[in-house]
């Protein structure tokens, strides 16, 4: 009475490959930005390089978590290791929040006490433009996979933050080149922090939903229950539970009361197939478990709907 369709090894291997590609791009841009910050005297480039360094570390965490998540299930961990992706996403979210705090504090300090060193806006502009292109490529690489993996989603959000950071640095560089207003450097750094915070909070909120085994935000239990009740031969549905192992891996279980005759005339298998098909086709549920009960069955946990 089970439909086991866990995420396959092919998807996990593909996620690792995409994360490795993004890591290579991120690390390369980080090195270029550090060199550019030293040569140009740009504080915004240095802050963005620090951002990239943190992102590179987070991508390493994501790669490790994805590798662990791909390990097969065993008798101790019957669902496998997919929750490792969630722990990786949690680490990424915390890193983002800490990073935002540091960048924000540094930006305010620089605004209050601006550095007197001259900033070479031209070099700053070239380096930031190269970073923007690399971040755009990384986002394109991770774009599809981030819809299926909360861990890749965390990496995607970090690259998105990098992209906004590069754009902010480009604007600051243009301002410095055209007006000589070097404090645009600090303003760009502060903008980077402001743009990242909502995304980091959103990622942590999603992690909380998974770890508390709440129903995914886009899943409506009442609607699912009604669909199942409309199945031929089904009398009622109770003890419904919906949660997710990680992003894109919903799990469902329910007790289904069927007509007494269905259990004796061979229709039980067809009813079960219809129930599983309903979840797979209409709600994209990856793993479902049903307990079929006769209409006269009264053992019922009244604590659950």
For 177-223, the pLDDT digits (tens) are 888 887 888 888 788 777 777 777 887 888 887 787 777 777 777 88
- pTM of the model as a whole: 0.63
Q: Helix, strand, coil proportions of the chain in percent (round to 5)?
A: 65, 10, 25
Helix axes 43-69, 9-40, angle to 10 degrees: 160
Contact of 164 with 132, CB cutoff 8 Å: no
For 285-294, the pLDDT digits (tens) are 767 788 888 8
Residue 76: other Cβ atoms inside 10 A: 5
Helix axes 43-69, 121-142, angle to 10 degrees: 20
Domains of the chain (ranges, CATH numbers): 2-211 (1.20.1510.10), 221-294 (3.30.70.1350)
Q: What is the pLDDT along the chain (305 residues), one digit of tens a residue?
A: 444 444 445 556 676 777 787 788 888 888 888 888 888 877 778 777 776 776 776 677 667 666 666 666 666 665 666 666 677 778 878 887 887 787 788 778 778 876 555 667 888 888 888 888 888 887 887 777 666 666 677 777 777 777 877 888 889 889 888 888 878 888 887 887 777 777 778 878 888 877 877 777 777 778 888 888 888 878 888 888 877 776 667 778 888 888 877 777 778 888 888 888 777 776 767 677 888 888 766 554 444 44
């Amino acid at each position: 009475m089970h439909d086991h369709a866990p995420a396959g090894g092919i998807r996990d291997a593909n996620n690792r490959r995409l994360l490795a590609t993004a890591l290579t791009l991120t690390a390369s841009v980080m090195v270029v930005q550090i060199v550019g910050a030293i040569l140009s005297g740009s504080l915004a480039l240095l802050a963005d390089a620090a951002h990239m360094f943190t992102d590179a570390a987070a991508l390493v965490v994501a790669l490790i978590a994805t590798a662990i998540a791909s390990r097969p299930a065993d008798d101790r961990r019957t669902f496998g290791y997919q929750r490792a992706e969630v722990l990786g996403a949690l680490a990424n979210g915390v890193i983002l929040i800490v990073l935002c705090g540091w960048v924000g504090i540094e930006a305010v300090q620089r605004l209050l006490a601006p550095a007197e060193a001259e900033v070479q806006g031209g070099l700053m502009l070239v380096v930031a433009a190269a970073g923007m292109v690399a971040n755009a490529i990384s986002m394109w690489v991770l774009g599809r996979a981030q819809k299926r993996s909360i861990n890749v989603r965390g990496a995607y959000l970090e690259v998105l933050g990098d992209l906004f950071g590069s754009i902010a640095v480009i604007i600051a560089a243009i301002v410095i080149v055209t007006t000589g207003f070097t404090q645009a450097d600090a303003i760009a750094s502060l903008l980077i922090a402001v743009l990242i915070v909502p995304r980091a909070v959103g990622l942590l909120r999603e992690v909380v939903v998974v770890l508390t085994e709440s129903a995914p935000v886009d899943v409506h239990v009442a609607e699912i229950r009604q669909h199942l009740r409309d199945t031929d031969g089904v009398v009622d549905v109770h003890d419904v539970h919906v949660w997710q192992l990680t992003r894109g891996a919903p799990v469902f279980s329910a007790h289904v009361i069927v007509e007494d005759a269905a259990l004796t005339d061979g229709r039980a298998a067809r009813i079960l197939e219809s129930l599983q098909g309903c979840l797979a086709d209409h709600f994209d549920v990856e793993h479902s478990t049903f307990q079929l009960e006769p209409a006269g069955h009264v053992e019922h946990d009244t604590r659950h709907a």
